[in-house]
């Protein structure tokens, strides 16, 4: 049953391939070949991965390569770098959920930390055992290990465990591991013969197509590659062809392709794309696509414009990335990138030895047109070929033995085909298949030829030559000379919708004429010294597009204004040969360096090259044409390109930009982090010069990206960098900067978001805010200190003067007291004695006794006052017994009056109190009491003195009528008190208001 089915499938595959031969022309693929010349470290990238950042990682036999669409970065072992890759032969690459890359080599598992741009090795065996990672979770790496089975490494706990005892990894240097883990929880792997499925849940192995007793299905078969599709079907690449295996139904099918002696051969690699197709890499039998629904094979051909063939390579690995791009290892020469359904030019001109009827008479095409049947008339240097597009055959060939006589091909309004040649024109007779020649120059050796043909409104033909123009009347079959520009080379003619005839002469200028029968009225003359090669009209927008040697002219006929597009606007080359205008107004041009297009809305110019399917870079004049269907044709030296303008869709892909090669002061930036993973960089003022490279991770644009950047804080506007990816800023002033860069894809579509790097240049310490603040603080503090020092000096001097004054006052008090005691007191005492003695000599009488008594009372009162004054001026108790005793004595005298009650509390004072402190405190107490007794009308007074460490706390209060301090402060009493407090170095506070009594607190240092 299986054999019959396989034979049936083989026949289907062969027929399907033949039927799809024409359809493939409608499914162009952009193909690019990358080799060691492009930077690949080695030509055998057997393992591939597209990571979450968009990079393509390639594992080769000489390290790991990371590709961004522009350049390769190579990671190799380096004995001098402990953070380099360990092991040279890569056996597998996976990415974990944190974005780190795991590379398996003969040394074990290498973990690439993206943040630090460093590798670290996890040895999975005590011996050198090749580790091949194939699956990663948020905490585990699954890998097969040579001789040790299926292993799992938990990079969170750093623990290793074995989940399966078997995993087949041979010792060949070019071994490719096809082990894969499916969503169903199965691990599929190759066996020396056949395949093995390991059930993770059941922990069981199941063998298929093996030669062991444990084989569960199929005859032994050599399997070289393995892929499991979305439906869980296993596809096996074998030496017999492609095998479809449904292990659940225990069924398989074998698909092969044959054509004559050629077969599919050994299938080395398999991969499923997003359309469900299977890509097949073979052993020097090409690259193929298998349609699973139709069971048909399609061969993928290299560029039609290239002699290279995929049959020259062994495709050991085919990989489909996240965006649908196919990458294939074209061993032994690098890597092939294939973009399916790309916007490509159709190409006709490749040699076909099997079908010579499809070959052109000569590849160099000089002119072209379309006949009434839709066939292409191609004037080549080897003859005229009439090509049937439907049959893809050259149905008719003319002038194959002539030497480049075809200069221009034209179809008139009567569907008659005309050919310009030397000395005249030729008309084709469709009935006889022959040409009739009409000459304006009968010299058989003439080199004068017809460069262009145009039908005028009266249905005559205007023929342009290198020596002016002729008008040919098809009915009369006669030529008449045009009397204008008889000595000029008419390079281009065009009749616009408004009836204006435009003439372009060789390196002269552009002319415009309105035709009135045989009379021509000149309406325009301009663009002096321009070589006008071609003229076409945008009828919708009323604009002429003119191809010149200086570039493309957009000419507004009404306003008489123009715009020149040249290499400064992005053209690959300014020499224009032909121009066509699409219905949307966009313009396509053939040049000396390929084909270019202009988006008239955005002004963006796209330049196409060989990877876009061009026949070559060099095109020919007069070899361009736009069919009635809108299809455009451009001919060059190697054939013909054709396309519909609408097929070149604007690429909307917006690539991510990555940073690299960050240098500071021309040296690599020293940091533990990778600049591509950094958002902020802080540099000292001495490192104020930096350079940086950047690039888009873009596999669609083939390096045709444009960039613009801006350093906020330095640049005033975006800097248009073109394709330059390097920036350098020197001698930046301290401050904060934001570097922004945007990229555009090949079609000029810019990223919506910028890639940003915040940069801070710290100022020198003397220009920092904290230093300025500190400097200000120091200045203010210094000024304040100087002022305070000045004030303290003044205060010290004032205190000194005050102290001297107070000391002098005290001394004066003592002197006065001493004088009163010694002089006045003794004299009053003597006077009292004299008065007493004198009264003895007086007669006794009441009047005498009265006088005696009054005199003695006055003397007594005077003595009492003198003693009181002596106590106030220099109390002996203060000198002999100290402050407390002196105040107690003072309080007792006040309390003895029974008018005011004074409460005095004084805790034990130190015996070490200075006389100055005791005297000063006593005078303060005395002054307070005097003020209260004189002015307060108080009945209660409280005095409290409490020593506390090195301070003496004094409290005074009364219940008198109080006062306003601001008014009373001017009084002599308060001033005396505060002066004494200041001299003693203390602090006094007053608490009083009218009607609320008085409270005074005083703190004095005991060492005053």
What tens digit of pLDDT does each residue of 974-1006 get? Answer: 888 888 888 888 899 989 888 888 999 999 888
Contact yes or no for 22/392 (Cβ under 8 A)? yes
Higher pLDDT, 21 or 457: 457
Lowest mean pLDDT among 352-356, 490-494, 557-561: 352-356
Nearest-CA neighbor of 985 among 799, 833, 838? Answer: 799
pLDDT the model gives residue 839? 66
pLDDT the model gives residue 840? 66
pLDDT the model gives residue 888? 87
Could you report the per-residue pLDDT of 940-962, keeping only the tens digit for each? 999 999 888 888 899 999 999 88
Residue 263 CB coordination number (10 Å): 15
pLDDT, mean of residues 7-23: 33
Residue with tokens 């978001």: 753
Could you report the per-residue pLDDT of 108-149, keeping only the tens digit for each? 999 999 999 999 999 998 888 889 999 999 999 999 998 889
Cα–Cα distance for residue pair 277/928, rounded to 1 Å: 112
The predicted model scores a pTM of 0.72
pLDDT, mean of residues 674-688: 93
Q: What are phi and psi of 893, to 5 degrees?
A: -65, -40
Between CA 609 and CA 400, with CA 355 as vertex, the angle to 5 degrees is: 80
Average pLDDT in the chain: 87
And the tokens for 625? 């044409």
Could you report the per-residue pLDDT of 396-450, keeping only the tens digit for each? 999 998 877 899 999 999 999 999 999 999 999 999 999 999 999 988 888 899 9
Confidence of residue 13 (pLDDT cuts 50, 70, 90): very low
Say yes or no to pLDDT of 6 above 50: no
Confidence of residue 25 (pLDDT cuts 50, 70, 90): very low
DSSP code for 932: I
Nearest-CA neighbor of 590 among 557, 562, 615? Answer: 615
Say yes or no to pLDDT of 492 above 50: yes
Number of helices (H), then strands (E), belonging to the chain: the values are 9, 73
Q: What is the dihedral of CA 246, 248, 250, 253, to 10 degrees?
A: -10
Give, for 94, the enclosing helix (H) or strand (E). strand 92-95
Nearest-CA neighbor of 330 among 340, 318, 339, 321? Answer: 318
pLDDT the model gives residue 444? 85
String of DSSP letters for 831-898: HHHHHHHHTTSSPP-HHHHHHHHHHHHHHHHHHHHHHHHHHHHS-HHHHHH-HHHHHHHHHHHHHTTT
pLDDT the model gives residue 172? 72
- Could you check whether the bond before residue 332 is cis, i.e. omega within 30 degrees of 0? yes
Q: What percent of the chain has pLDDT over 70?
A: 90
pLDDT, mean of residues 33-54: 94
Q: What percent of the chain has pLDDT over 90?
A: 61
Contact yes or no for 348/360 (Cβ under 8 A)? yes
The order of strands in the sheet holding 619-626 is 346-348, 639-643, 632-636, 619-626
pLDDT, mean of residues 262-283: 94
Please state whether beta strands 706-712 and 735-744 pair in parallel, antiparallel, or not at all (unpaired).
antiparallel
DSSP code for 568: G
Could you report the per-residue pLDDT of 144-192, keeping only the tens digit for each? 998 889 999 999 999 999 999 888 877 677 788 999 999 999 999 999 9
Secondary structure of residue 828 in the 3-state scheme = helix
Higher pLDDT, 849 or 373: 373
- Distance (Å) of CA 901 to CA 36, 872, 945, 998: 114, 20, 17, 15
pLDDT the model gives residue 39? 95
And the tokens for 848? 């005498």
Could you report the per-residue pLDDT of 713-769, keeping only the tens digit for each? 999 999 999 999 999 999 999 999 999 999 999 888 899 999 999 999 998 887 777
Within 8 A by CB and 6+ apart from 786, the residues are none
Could you report the per-residue pLDDT of 295-349, keeping only the tens digit for each? 999 999 876 656 678 888 999 999 999 999 999 999 888 999 999 888 789 888 8
Beta pairing partners, 720: 708
Could you report the per-residue pLDDT of 886-935, keeping only the tens digit for each? 888 888 888 888 888 999 998 777 666 788 888 888 888 888 888 888 88
Beta pairing partners, 954: 945, 1002
Give, for 733, the enclosing helix (H) or strand (E). none
Contact yes or no for 396/386 (Cβ under 8 A)? yes
Higher pLDDT, 13 or 59: 59
């Amino acid at each position: 049953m299986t054999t019959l089915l396989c034979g049936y499938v083989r026949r289907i595959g062969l027929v399907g391939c033949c039927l799809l031969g024409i359809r493939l022309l409608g499914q162009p693929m952009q193909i690019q070949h990358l080799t060691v010349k492009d930077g690949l470290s080695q030509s055998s990238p057997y393992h591939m991965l597209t990571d979450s950042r968009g990079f393509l990682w390639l594992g080769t036999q000489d390290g790991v390569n990371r590709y961004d669409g522009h350049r390769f970065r190579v990671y190799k072992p380096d004995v001098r770098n402990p953070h380099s890759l360990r092991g040279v032969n890569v056996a597998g690459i996976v990415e974990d959920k944190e974005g780190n890359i795991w590379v398996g080599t003969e040394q074990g598992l290498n973990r690439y930390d993206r943040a630090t741009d460093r590798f670290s090795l996890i040895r999975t065996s005590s011996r050198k055992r090749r580790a091949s990672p194939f699956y990663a979770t948020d905490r585990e790496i699954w890998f097969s290990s040579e001789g040790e089975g299926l292993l799992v490494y938990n990079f969170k706990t750093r623990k290793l465990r074995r989940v399966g005892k078997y995993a087949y990894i041979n010792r060949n240097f070019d071994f490719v591991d096809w082990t894969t883990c499916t969503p169903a929880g199965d691990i599929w792997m190759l066996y020396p013969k056949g395949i093995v499925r390991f059930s993770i849940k059941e922990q069981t192995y199941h063998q298929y197509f093996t030669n062991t007793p444990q084989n569960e299905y199929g005859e032994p078969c050599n399997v070289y590659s393995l892929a499991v599709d979305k439906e869980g079907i296993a596809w096996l690449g074998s030496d017999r062809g492609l095998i479809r295996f449904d292990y659940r139904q225990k069924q398989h099918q074998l698909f092969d392709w044959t054509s004559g002696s050629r077969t599919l051969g050994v299938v080395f690699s398999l991969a499923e794309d997003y359309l469900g197709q299977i890509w097949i890499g073979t052993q020097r039998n090409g690259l193929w696509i298998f349609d699973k629904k139709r069971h048909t094979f399609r061969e993928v051909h290299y560029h039609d414009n290239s002699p290279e063939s995929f049959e020259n390579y062994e495709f050991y690995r085919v990989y489909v990335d996240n965006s649908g791009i196919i990458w294939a290892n074209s061993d032994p020469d690098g890597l092939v990138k294939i973009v399916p359904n790309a916007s490509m030019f159709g190409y006709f001109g490749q040699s076909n030895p099997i079908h010579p009827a499809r070959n052109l008479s000569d590849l160099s095409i000089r002119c072209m047109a379309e006949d009434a049947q839709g066939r292409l008339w191609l004037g080549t240097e080897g003859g005229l070929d009439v090509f049937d597009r439907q049959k893809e055959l050259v149905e008719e060939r003319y002038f194959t033995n002539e030497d480049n006589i075809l200069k221009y091909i034209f179809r008139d309004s009567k569907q008659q085909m005309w050919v310009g040649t030397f000395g005249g024109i030729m008309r084709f007779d469709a009935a006889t298949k022959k040409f009739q020649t009409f000459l304006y120059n009968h010299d058989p050796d003439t080199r004068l030829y017809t460069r262009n043909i145009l039908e005028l409104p009266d249905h005559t033909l205007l023929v342009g030559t290198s020596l002016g123009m002729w008008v040919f009347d098809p009915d009369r079959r006669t030529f008449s000379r045009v009397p204008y520009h008889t000595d000029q080379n008419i390079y281009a003619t065009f009749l616009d919708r408004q009836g204006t005839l435009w003439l372009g002469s060789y390196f002269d200028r552009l002319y415009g004429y309105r035709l009135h029968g045989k009379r021509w009225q000149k309406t325009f003359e301009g663009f002096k010294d321009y070589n006008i090669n071609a003229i076409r009209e945008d009828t919708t927008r009323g604009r002429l597009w003119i191809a010149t040697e200086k570039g493309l002219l957009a000419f507004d006929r009404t306003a008489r204004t123009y715009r020149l597009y040249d290499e400064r606007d992005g053209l690959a080359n300014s020499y224009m040969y032909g121009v066509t205008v699409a219905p949307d107004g966009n313009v396509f041009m053939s040049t000396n360096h390929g084909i270019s297009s202009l988006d008239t809305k955005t002004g963006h110019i796209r330049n196409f090259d060989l990877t876009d399917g061009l026949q070559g870079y060099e095109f020919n004049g007069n070899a361009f044409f736009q069919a009635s269907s809108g299809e455009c044709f451009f001919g060059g030296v190697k054939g013909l390109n054709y396309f519909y303008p609408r097929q070149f869709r604007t690429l909307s892909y917006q690539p991510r930009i990555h940073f690299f090669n960050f240098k500071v002061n021309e040296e690599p930036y020293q940091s533990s982090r990778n600049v591509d993973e950094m958002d902020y960089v802080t540099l000292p003022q001495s490192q104020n010069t930096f350079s940086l490279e950047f690039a888009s991770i873009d596999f669609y644009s083939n390096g045709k990206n444009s960039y613009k950047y801006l350093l906020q804080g330095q640049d005033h506007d975006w800097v248009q960098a073109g394709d330059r990816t390097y920036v350098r800023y020197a001698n930046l002033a301290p401050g904060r900067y934001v570097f922004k860069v945007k990229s555009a894809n090949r079609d000029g579509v810019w990223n919506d978001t910028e890639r940003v790097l915040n940069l801070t240049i710290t100022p020198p310490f003397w220009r920092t805010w904290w230093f300025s603040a500190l400097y200000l603080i120091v200045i203010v503090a210094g000024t304040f200190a100087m002022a305070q020092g000045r004030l303290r000096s003044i205060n010290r001097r004032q205190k000194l003067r005050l102290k001297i004054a107070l000391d002098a006052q005290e001394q004066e008090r003592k002197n006065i007291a001493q004088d009163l005691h010694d002089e006045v007191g003794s004299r009053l005492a003597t006077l009292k004695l004299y008065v007493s003695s004198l009264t003895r000599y007086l007669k006794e009488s009441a009047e005498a006794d009265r006088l005696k008594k009054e005199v003695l009372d006055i003397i007594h009162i005077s003595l009492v006052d003198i003693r009181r004054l002596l106590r106030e001026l220099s109390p002996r108790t203060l000198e002999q017994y100290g402050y407390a005793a002196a105040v107690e004595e003072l309080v007792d005298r006040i309390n003895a009056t029974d008018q005011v009650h004074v409460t005095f509390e004084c805790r034990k004072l130190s015996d070490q109190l200075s006389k100055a402190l005791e005297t000063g405190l006593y005078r303060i107490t005395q002054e307070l009491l005097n003020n209260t007794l004189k002015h307060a009308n108080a009945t209660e007074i409280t005095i409290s003195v409490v020593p506390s460490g090195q301070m003496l706390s004094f409290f005074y209060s009364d219940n008198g009528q109080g006062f306003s301090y601001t008014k009373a402060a001017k009084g002599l009493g308060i001033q005396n008190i505060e002066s004494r407090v200041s001299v003693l170095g203390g602090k006094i506070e007053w608490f009083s208001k009218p009607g609320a009594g008085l409270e005074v607190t005083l703190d004095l240092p005991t060492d005053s």
